[in-house]
């Protein structure tokens, strides 16, 4: 294989021997990709990705722009289904079941695997109605007030909004809106929360609140987070997966080990800021 790497990482060929992927014991695994490829038309955005994500931990997905981080995240709860030209091959298992099997209902899957996006996107409704939205569409409104309060508390927002639940969610600050979106996601009691750069639109104080919150959420949920911010990945995650150009997962393991002692030379270059 060529030893000349492009400035942005890696060419399209990625021998098995170049990968360093930690195996998670099956009993601790909640999400498992095996030979996962995603194509947009002719373009291959994920290339033969195999990895297991442990339950109730924070797993960070990092890598240079365009390496497939968001595509991988969206493949977990089938959000790529919403993109006409996207095509998935291989398997993505959630609790042992391939989510791409014909009998899987993507809407039901997304109740168990919620998502928080880069830009906060509360509905133009009251704070209460934002959080109550999921339970209501599931016709699951028993003890709704308590559930709304619990979700807002878990999202570390209750103290700031408890006396104005009827105000519009869109009138909150950016950081509060993002915590409201997290409360909306957890109100339906998911098992996994996917986060796609949830703090990239926020100031440092709001970012630090989201980071503290992610740490707390991992006591109850599995969190998978895409971030461009390597310091953030190092601070908040238990495991880190490094993707490089061409949609290749190159290294995956304990966050401390990946940042202190990366085994792959290109991962070391990426982490030390030589490209990306």
Ligand X SMILES: Nc1ncnc2c1ncn2[C@@H]1O[C@H](COP(=O)(O)OP(=O)(O)OP(=O)(O)O)[C@@H](O)[C@H]1O
Binding residues (CB under 6 A) for ligand X: these are: 40, 45, 63, 65-71, 83, 85, 228
Give whichever of 209 and 248 is closer to ligand X, judged by the CB atom.
248
CB of 65 to ligand X, least distance (A): 3
Q: Give how far the C-alpha of residue 174 lies from the chain's centroid of Cα atoms, to the nearest Å.
A: 19
Q: How is residue 101 written in tokens? A: 């099997």
d(CA 274, CA 104): 42
Give whichever of 69 and 179 is closer to ligand X, judged by the CB atom.
69
CB of 172 to ligand X, least distance (A): 25
Residue given tokens 């995240």 in the structure block: 73
Give whichever of 84 and 103 is closer to ligand X, judged by the CB atom.
84
Give whichever of 61 and 210 is closer to ligand X, judged by the CB atom.
61
Residues 222/30, Cβ–Cβ less than 8 Å? yes
d(CA 3, CA 266): 11
d(CA 237, CA 231): 10
Q: What are the contacts of 159-165 at 24+ separation with CB within 8 A?
A: 161/127, 164/127, 165/126, 165/127, 165/128
CB of 146 to ligand X, least distance (A): 37
CB of 263 to ligand X, least distance (A): 21
Give whichever of 3 and 65 is closer to ligand X, judged by the CB atom.
65
CB of 62 to ligand X, least distance (A): 9
CB neighbour list of residue 160: distance below 8 Å, 6 or more residues apart: 176
Task: Measure Cα distances from 128 to 114, 123, 235 in Å.
Answer: 19, 11, 32
CB of 229 to ligand X, least distance (A): 11
Give whichever of 71 and 207 is closer to ligand X, judged by the CB atom.
71
Residues 141/135, Cβ–Cβ less than 8 Å? yes
The Cβ of residue 272 has, within 10 Å, a number of other Cβ atoms equal to 12
What is the C-alpha R_g of the chain?
19
CB of 139 to ligand X, least distance (A): 33
Give whichever of 85 and 137 is closer to ligand X, judged by the CB atom.
85
Residue given tokens 């998911």 in the structure block: 190
């Amino acid at each position: 294989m060529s030893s000349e790497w492009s400035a942005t990482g890696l060419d399209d060929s990625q021998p098995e021997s170049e990968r360093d992927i930690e195996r998670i014991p099956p009993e601790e695994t909640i999400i498992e990709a095996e030979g996962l490829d995603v194509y947009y038309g002719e373009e291959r955005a994920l290339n033969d990705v195999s990895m297991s994500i442990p339950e109730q931990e924070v797993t960070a997905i990092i890598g240079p722009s365009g390496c497939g981080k968001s595509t991988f995240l969206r493949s977990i709860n089938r959000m790529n289904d919403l993109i006409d030209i996207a095509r998935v091959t291989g398997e993505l298992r959630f609790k042992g079941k391939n989510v791409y099997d014909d009998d899987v209902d993507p809407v039901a899957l997304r109740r168990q695997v919620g998502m928080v996006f880069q830009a906060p996107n509360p509905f133009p409704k009251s704070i209460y109605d934002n959080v109550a939205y999921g339970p209501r569409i599931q016709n699951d409104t028993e003890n709704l007030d308590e559930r709304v309060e619990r979700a807002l508390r878990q999202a570390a927002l209750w103290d700031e909004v408890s006396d104005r639940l009827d105000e519009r969610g869109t009138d909150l600050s950016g950081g509060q809106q993002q915590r409201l979106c997290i409360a909306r996601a957890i109100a339906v009691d998911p098992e996994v929360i996917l986060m796609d750069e949830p703090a990239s639109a926020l100031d440092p104080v709001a970012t630090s609140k989201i980071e503290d919150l992610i740490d707390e959420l991992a006591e109850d949920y599995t969190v998978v987070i895409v971030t461009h911010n390597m310091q953030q990945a190092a601070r908040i995650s238990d495991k880190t997966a490094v993707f490089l150009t061409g949609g290749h997962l190159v290294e995956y393991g304990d966050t401390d080990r990946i940042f202190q002692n990366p085994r792959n030379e290109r991962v070391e270059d990426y982490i030390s800021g030589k490209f990306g």
